[in-house]
């Protein structure tokens, strides 16, 4: 019997070394009190779309008004561009009806249809590491 693989996020990474991009993200974060990148000289971007060929993409800022700032890049290259793109309007038809966190017109599956092995591994080990470090149970589940 063969193994049936699921649907996974791409996970391709890009090191964005643009001081302008870091400054833009910090300015946007300051406007709506979200996490700031800080003085880091670079940002590691990670493609969140379903495994694919072609340009990779990650949302780097959500303005909470139906638009998100997405950055695109090719394999082995620095970011090729960024733009504000409307959110994907599709909601999970199952219980809870989570919204898709990708952009309008994205290729591949919606976010609730994809597995992220890196996130899953972190979710498995984070409670153990937290308990070892703090001597208390993981408070986030």
Strands (E), the chain: 13-16, 43-46, 56-62, 67-73, 81-86
Which pTM value belongs to this model?
0.74
Neighbours of 103 (CB within 10 A): 19
- Supply the pLDDT for residue 48: 93
Question: pLDDT (tens digit, 9 = 90+) per residue, 2-57?
Answer: 323 578 999 999 988 777 777 777 777 777 665 555 556 678 899 999 999 999 99
User: Highest mean pLDDT: which of 26-35, 87-96, 117-126?
Assistant: 87-96
């Amino acid at each position: 019997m063969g193994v049936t693989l699921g649907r996974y996020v791409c996970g391709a990474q890009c090191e964005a070394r643009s001081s302008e991009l870091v400054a833009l993200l910090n300015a946007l974060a300051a406007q709506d009190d979200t996490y700031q990148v800080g003085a880091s000289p670079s940002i590691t971007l990670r493609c969140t779309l379903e495994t694919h060929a072609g340009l990779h993409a990650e949302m780097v800022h959500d303005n909470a008004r139906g638009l998100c700032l997405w950055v695109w890049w090719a394999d082995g290259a620095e970011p090729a561009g960024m733009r504000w793109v409307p959110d994907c309007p599709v909601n999970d038809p199952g219980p809870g009806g989570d919204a898709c966190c990708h952009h309008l017109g994205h290729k591949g599956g919606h976010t609730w249809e994809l597995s992220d092995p890196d996130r899953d591994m972190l979710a498995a080990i984070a409670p153990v590491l937290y308990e070892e470090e703090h001597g208390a149970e993981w408070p986030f589940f």
